[in-house]
Amino acid sequence: MADPDRSITDCHMHDKEAIAAQIALAFAAVEYPGDWCLKGGNEGDEPHLLEQEFKGKADWRVLAPAFLDQAPAGFASALSFFSDEAFRFYLPAYLIADIRGQLERSNPIFHLTHGLDETSRGERINPRRYGERTWFEHVRHRFAIFNQEQAAAIVAYLTLKRDEDDFERQHIDEALRNYWRDRAS
C-alpha cells in the first residue's frame, strides 16, 4: 500500500523544483550588470563590502547558498544594497536557494513584499532625503526592470512561500494583490 504522506511530500518537492526551474528559465538571459554596477549606493560599509564580494561573480547559478546567506561579510544584507540591475541578476539564486530551504538569514520574501503590503505601502522612505517618496513608489521603480516572464516566476515563488509561511502570508497576499499579479499578466 502506498504511503499517502510520502506522495504528498514528493508532489510538493516536484512543485518546488518546477518553480525553481521556472525561475532559472525566466532569468537565464539576464546579463551580469558588470563590476561597476553592483551596489545601489555608497552609504555605510555594506555596499562596499557587497561590491568586493560580488565583483567578478558573473554567473549566479554557481553561487553557494552559504555564500548568499551571509553576504556581504556576514551581514546577510546583499539584497538590500544591490543596484536594481544586480538585484535582478542575483535574485534567482536567492529564490532557488530559499525554495530548497538553504537560506537561514537572507529573506527574499521581504524584498519582494516590503513596500507592496498595506503596512509599508504608503510609508515615506526618508522624508529628509527623499521628500514624499513612498516605499511603494520606490519598489515599483525597482521592479519595473523585470519582464513579464520574470514577474510570473516571482508570483510562482511567492505563491509557494505563502502556503509554507504563516508569518509572511498576509504580506505575500497583499504584495500579490497590490502589484505582482498585475505585473505578471
Average confidence (pLDDT) over 59-63: 98
What residues are paired with 124 via a beta bridge? 134
Largest CA distance in the chain: 66
Q: Contact at 8 Å (CB) between 93 and 68?
A: yes
C-alpha cell at 117: 503590503
C-alpha cell at 96: 532557488
Q: What distance in Å separates the CA atoms of residue 107 and residue 110, rounded to the nearest whole number?
A: 6
Mean of the per-residue pLDDT values for the chain? 92
What residues are paired with 97 via a beta bridge? none
So what's the pLDDT on residue 71?
A: 96
The reported pTM is 0.91
| Closest of 182, 158, 181 to residue 170, by C-alpha | 158
- Identity of the amino acid at 74: G
Q: What distance in Å separates the CA atoms of residue 170 and residue 181, rounded to the nearest whole number?
A: 15
Does 163 have pLDDT greater than 80? Answer: yes
Does 47 have pLDDT greater than 70? Answer: yes
| Closest of 109, 96, 85 to residue 34, by C-alpha | 85
Q: What is the pLDDT of residues 7-25, one digit of tens each?
A: 444 445 669 999 999 999 9
C-alpha cell at 73: 561579510
Instruction: Kindly tell me the burial class for residue 45, based on how many C-beta atoms sit within 10 Å of its own C-beta (0-12, 13-18, 19 or more).
Output: exposed
Low-confidence winner among 22-26, 27-31, 68-72, 117-121 (lowest mean pLDDT): 117-121
Burial profile 142-151: b = 16 or more Cβ within 10 angstroms, e = fewer: bbeebeeebb
For the chain, the domains span 4-184
CA distances in angstroms from 116 to 19, 84, 101, listed in the order given = 22, 17, 24
Average confidence (pLDDT) over 157-180: 94
